[in-house]
Amino acid sequence: MTRPYNFSAGPAAMPEEVLELAAAEMLDWHGSGMGVMEMSHRGSEFISIYEQAASDFRELLNIPQEFKILFMQGGGLGENAIVPLNLSKGGCVDFVLSGSWGQKSYKEAAKYAKPLIAASSEEAGFTFFPNPSTWSLNDSSSYVHLCTNETIHGVECHTLPDLRSMGSKAPLVIDFSSHVLSRSVDWSRVGAAFAGAQKNIGPAGLTLVVVREALIDQALDICPSAFNYKLVAGADSMYNTPPTYGIYIAGLTFQWLKRQVENGKTGLEAIELRNKTKSELLYNFLDSSSFYENKVDHLSRSRMNIPFFLKDESRNEAFLKGAKEQGLLQLKGHKSVGGMRASIYNAMPLKGVQVLIEYLREFERAHS
């Protein structure tokens, strides 16, 4: 079976091998006589699936032992409330706004904390990531929040800020939903990180949280128990029934990632290298064309989400129709930005990007 290339921003394309394995194991996981979604989350079969997934995730991202890994529910937007409930102490928190997701987090935090804007690129249409030298951080803030890959605007933070050297004692909280596992993370600069699964990991609903153990004992009294980091961590993510099937698929994705090889590198290093190659190929093509354009500052361009415009927008519909006919799906841009967007997460093979570029070139030739 040949499948089309799916450029959806999320829920997004999964590695084919993962889907095939899940299909093969749907009715009977490893001779247990049960499918994974029929298993008790406290049974030995599921516990082994969970433990392998947690340890593979830690290994892939090289997460130090002082961090807890929590498998939660509620998605990225859920964490927009869960983070301030757990980490704000009801006080000030600093936000760096480089796109829609940071803005959403900022608005939600106002229900539980006092969010302040340390920097924003809104006036420039969110076309760059604000340089840390321009941030104004508040001395008393409980944490500094940033979305390190703005899925809608295609803006990525390529070097995490070193808050200590900027005179701040606050922990850094990152929303890395749309580039988790696409590159390495400098954990020495991070207090907590969260990611919805539906971009680079697995089914929507599952949410991964990586949080320093030293930070988890300060939830507000109103924090729902099932979203209290301390309670969830203390129960190894089984305070309530976790999203078991999502965890299983995530585990298959982690195993797939560990098997990746690229240019002598393996695992996360391999996928990071491939992601660089894929995104550079597409950006180079867009920059070389006078028919298309990407408006994001070169230093802030996302490797995962590449918004672009046809300079003649009257051709948008024909472009999308032709793309679909070529098996290139879900290229329409987010309604708030318009134009097109190619999301090229880990599961998008190099070949998919090459086929997209061929189509872009062909469409340009036929219409200019």
Ligand X SMILES: *Cc1c(COP(=O)(O)O)cnc(C)c1O
Residue with CB nearest ligand X? 76
Residue 73 near ligand X by CB under 6 A: no
Residue length of the chain: 368
The distance from CA 325 to its chain's CA centroid, rounded to whole angstroms, is 29
Helix (H) or strand (E) holding 172: strand 172-175
Tell me which of 175, 233, 270, 356 binds ligand X, using CB under 6 A: 175
Residue 77 near ligand X by CB under 6 A: yes
Do the beta carbons of residue 93 and residue 142 sit within 8 Å?
Answer: yes
In whole angstroms, how close is the CB of 33 to ligand X at the nearest point?
Answer: 33
Interface residues for ligand X in 192-251 (CB under 6 A)?
196, 204
Q: Which stretch binds ligand X (CB under 6 A): 48-56, 71-79, 183-191, 231-239?
A: 71-79
Do the beta carbons of residue 69 and residue 187 sit within 8 Å?
Answer: no
256 carries an active-site annotation: no
In whole angstroms, how close is the CB of 205 to ligand X at the nearest point?
Answer: 8
Q: Which stretch binds ligand X (CB under 6 A): 59-67, 76-84, 165-173, 225-233?
A: 76-84
Tell me which of 56, 94, 101, 230 is the catalytic residue. Answer: 101
Tokens linked to 346: 């880990």
Q: Which stretch binds ligand X (CB under 6 A): 170-178, 184-192, 346-354, 358-366?
A: 170-178
Tell me which of 68, 199, 230, 332 is the catalytic residue. Answer: 199
In whole angstroms, how close is the CB of 331 to ligand X at the nearest point?
Answer: 17
In whole angstroms, how close is the CB of 100 to ligand X at the nearest point?
Answer: 8
Query: In terms of C-beta distances under 8 Å and separation of at least 24 residues, what long-range contacts does 334-340 make, across chains too?
Result: 334/9, 334/100, 334/152, 334/307, 336/100, 336/152, 337/152, 337/153, 337/307, 338/309, 338/313, 339/307, 339/308, 339/309, 339/310, 339/313, 340/307, 340/308, 340/309, 340/310, 340/316
Tell me which of 14, 93, 147, 257 binds ligand X, using CB under 6 A: 147
Q: Rounded to the nearest 5°, which phi and psi values hold at 228?
A: -85, 115
Tell me which of 88, 141, 168, 177 binds ligand X, using CB under 6 A: 177
* Alpha-helical runs (H) found in the chain: 16-24, 44-61, 75-87, 100-109, 229-234, 244-259, 267-288, 316-325, 350-367
Tell me which of 5, 57, 71, 101 binds ligand X, using CB under 6 A: 101
Bridge partners (DSSP) listed for residue 147: 175
Do the beta carbons of residue 152 and residue 98 sit within 8 Å?
Answer: no
Residue 22 near ligand X by CB under 6 A: no
Bridge partners (DSSP) listed for residue 193: 174, 210
101 carries an active-site annotation: yes
In whole angstroms, how close is the CB of 75 to ligand X at the nearest point?
Answer: 3
In whole angstroms, how close is the CB of 363 to ligand X at the nearest point?
Answer: 28
Binding site for ligand X (CB under 6 A): 10, 75-78, 101, 147, 151, 175, 177-178, 196, 204
Q: Which residues are catalytic?
A: 101, 175, 199
